[in-house]
Amino acid sequence: MAGHTNYQQVRSEVDRVCRDCGRDPSSVVLVAVSKTVGADKVGVALGEGALDFGENRPDDLVAKHEAYPQARWHFIGNVQSRRLRDIVPVAHLVHSVYKVEHLPKIDAVARDCGKDCAILLEVNVSGEESKGGAPVEQAGELLEVASGLEHVQVRGLMTMAPRGDAAIARACFDDLHALLASLNRQFAARLDVPLSELSMGMSEDWREAIAAGATMVRIGRAVFSQSFA
Ligand SMILES: *Cc1c(COP(=O)(O)O)cnc(C)c1O
């Protein structure tokens, strides 16, 4: 028995928080981060209405995509050049691109599989050294390079906030939102479509992220752990 997940509970809470902030619930995608659970739980969550799933290891992304190709698979982990041939063909969206050198490689793999690869640029807004992501000052350069590539589509930005302080997390999310607006102004002439996605917020800080304009929240433990309060 695979049991159940908390997907529906979390989705209704997300909807309620959206309404409380005057936002349309359909403007926020709940990415159920399934990295700590097996494919059986993914199947359960799919049955409960989940559609978007996040994985941080290429092998798990590939295996779970193979088990459930009808789901949308988001790659949220560390990007390595040698794994792009695994990631790009199956990823609905790669959230965690922050090295300039990866952009032409993603473009080449996408071209080879006859698709465009949708990505987000991961930005380390908090400046915490332990976190991935480009420094804020490099976001423009990344976008500049990506906007010249035919098979790479930058949809927006992603960040991770420091843990443990809601006010700091909120400030971090507000900063990412402001950066998105600033890049859209700076690149207005070069982007076919403005950047629109803000992937921010996890189990402990997704409420702050939605208040700050998140369009995607990446929630793992609150969806899949029976003990998460
Ligand atoms: C694991 C992970 C999440 C989900 O974290 P939870 O705290 O379990 O909600 C979100 N984003 C990234 C990049 C992750 O690695």
The best mutation among 76, 124, 126, 227 to test binding of ligand 1, ranked by most ligand atoms within 8 Å of the C-beta, falls on 76
Q: Model pTM? A: 0.97
Q: What is the pLDDT of residue 2?
A: 65
What's the gap in Å between 220 CA and the centre of ligand 1? 6
Q: Cα separation of 183 and 204, whole Å?
A: 28
Task: Work out the angle between the directed axes of helices 39-47 and 58-67 (0-180°, nearest 10).
Answer: 50
DSSP string computed for 113-166: TTS-EEEEEEB-SS--TTS-SB-GGGHHHHHHHHHT-TTEEEEEEE--PPSS-H
Looking at residue 22, its pLDDT comes to 98
30: helix, strand or coil: strand
Nearest atom, ligand 1, residue 225 CA: 8
Give the DSSP letter string of 183-220: HHHHTTTT-SS---EEE---TTTHHHHHHTT-SEEEES
State the pLDDT at residue 229: 60
Of the candidates 136, 215, 212, 123, which has an alpha carbon nearest to the alpha carbon of residue 168? 212
Nearest CA to ligand 1 atom 10: 218
Question: What are the pocket residues of ligand 1 if the criterion is a CB atom closer than 6 Å to any ligand atom?
Answer: 33, 35, 56, 76, 160, 202-203, 218-222
**Lookup result for tokens 């995509």:** 65
- Give the C-alpha separation, 43 to 64, whole Å: 10
User: Any residues with CB less than 8 A from the CB of 118 and at least 6 apart, and which?
Assistant: 92, 93, 94, 153, 155
Question: Which residue stretches of the chain have pLDDT < 50?
Answer: 1
Quick one: pLDDT at residue 128? 86
Q: What is the 114 CA–ligand 1 centroid distance (Å)?
A: 30
CA distances from 93 to 25, 52, 97, 111, 147 (A): 20, 10, 10, 16, 16
